[in-house]
Amino acid sequence: MATTSIPTTFQELYTDLADRVRVSVSDAAILVLLKRYINAALQEVHIERNWPWAERRNFIQTNADYAVGTVAIALTARTTVTGTDSLWNTAVTGMGFNNTRAGGKLKFAGADDVYEVSSVGSDTAITLVERFVGTAALTTSTYVYFEDEYALETDFWRPVDLRRFTQAFDLPIVSRKEFYRAFPKNSTPGTPRICTIIDLAPSGAVGTRPRLLLAPPPTSIINIPYRYITTNLAVSSAGAEAVSLSADADEPIIPVRYRNVLVHWAAAQWYRDRKDDTRYETCRREYMEQIVRMGSDTGPDRDHPKFLVSKAPYLRNVAGGRGGGSRRYVSPGSAFDELRA
């Protein structure tokens, strides 16, 4: 690295950190710590704000509900569902997915229980995750298959907008607790009105699996474009994205002009953890000042959730009350209870 240039690669960043805190990169144990602090700084910077260079976009394509034919379940094989006149394993024309698939849900006529599909063996064979709990076998029962849960990108960290999942139509994001309170069963397909984001347990990898949960489950195939912040904060010399810096030639996705912010944060933590001296405060202040300058330069602000109150219905009712005749209070109904008003 030239003496006048800004640190660019992973090696240049941890070497700059070593120079600032006056340690040697030739010490293997010290080198491990230097690298760890730079990677921790990379995470910290992207916890601070939704930086534009970390934004990505993708879309979800939903599946329609399916209720063709009838089903049978024997009490001696409670996870086996047998269909008649069903086309469960048949592809939806031109869409690249089938009428039903693993992870979808089934609800049988006359019961409120919802069952998850473990696998689809054929057009007339589905295996359930949970055992059927009915007291009588099903013979020619009607049913409905639906999907309320959709995979997000594997590098999904958080949505860019914490209030609206998509700009294509009105789809507010609510907390998981609020979602489950409003739709405890979520088994009646319709037009999605709200959503929440959940994480499934790891499967085949260390990280959790982010999912979008829609209520009600969609009755048709729709595209849901969305923007999100990526967890891939580093890139190799070959252009491959990664969660963290590893090889010496790797680079953070932060623009070059801002990359010394990583050294500021790492130096502050080094002085706090390993030296316990006042230089921590100096480096911490430099870090915070640069974060502010970066925010002013790039424009994004931390995105806080807000309550956006629609005043029009209230004003109409109040004005009507003064005129003598219209009610002054709005009675809560299903629209209110289901978070549509």
Q: What does the pLDDT look like over 128-175, one tens digit per residue?
A: 999 999 999 999 999 999 999 999 999 999 999 999 999 999 999 999
Q: Which two tokens stand for residue 10?
A: 């992973």
Q: Name the β-bridge partners of 150.
A: 212
Final residue of a domain: which of 86, 117, 146? 146
Per-residue pLDDT of 272-323, as tens digits, reads: 998 878 899 999 999 999 999 999 997 645 555 556 666 666 666 656 554 4
For the ranges 88-92, 210-214, 247-251, 309-313, the lowest mean pLDDT is seen at 309-313
pLDDT band at 15 (very low <50, low <70, confident <90, very high): very high
The predicted structure's pLDDT at residue 300: 46
Residue 289, domain member (yes or no): yes
Does residue 142 share a domain with residue 159? no
pLDDT at 331 over 80: no
Would residue 160 count as lying in a domain?
Answer: yes
Q: Is there a contact between 115 and 107 (Cβ–Cβ < 8 Å)?
A: yes
Task: Please report whether residue 292 resides in a domain.
Answer: yes
| Whether residues 132 and 188 fall in one domain | no
Total structural domains in the chain? 4
| 212 and 258, same domain (yes or no) | no
**Greater confidence, 320 or 21?**
21
* CATH classification of the domain holding 90: 2.40.30
Going by C-alpha positions, the residue among 7, 21, 339 that lies closest to residue 192 is 339
Which tokens sit at 99? 């009428």
From 230, 246, 262, give the residue that closes a domain. Answer: 230
C-alpha dihedral (171, 177, 180, 181), degrees to nearest 10: -100
The whole-number pLDDT of residue 94 equals 95
For residue 294, being part of any structural domain is answered with yes
- As a whole number of Å, the end-to-end CA separation of the chain is 58
pLDDT in tens, 50-69: 999 999 999 999 999 999 99
Together in a domain, 210 and 226: yes
pLDDT in tens, 32-53: 999 999 999 999 999 999 999 9
Predicted confidence at residue 276, as pLDDT, reads 79
Q: Which helix (H) or strand (E) holds 335?
A: helix 334-337
Residues 193 and 223 in one domain: yes
At 10 the pLDDT is: 98
Q: For residue 95, tell me if it sits in a domain.
A: yes
Domain that holds residue 330: 309-341
Residue 339 — pLDDT band, cuts 50, 70, 90? low
131 DSSP assignment: P
Residue 37 three-state SS:
helix
Task: Give me the residues paired with residue 173 across strands.
Answer: 195
Q: Does residue 243 sit within a domain?
A: no
Please check whether residue 187 is in contact with residue 110, taking contact to mean a CB–CB distance below 8 angstroms: no
State which of 230, 263, 278 marks the end of a domain.
Answer: 230
Query: Quick check: is 249 in a domain?
Result: no
| pLDDT tens readout for residues 65-124 | 999 999 999 999 999 999 999 999 999 999 999 999 999 999 999 999 999 999 999 999
Residue 333: band (very low, low, confident or very high) from pLDDT cuts 50, 70, 90: low
What's the confidence (pLDDT) of residue 150?
98
CA nearest neighbour of 152 among 226, 46, 101:
226
Does some domain include residue 244? no
- CA 295, 299, 302, 306 torsion-angle sign: positive
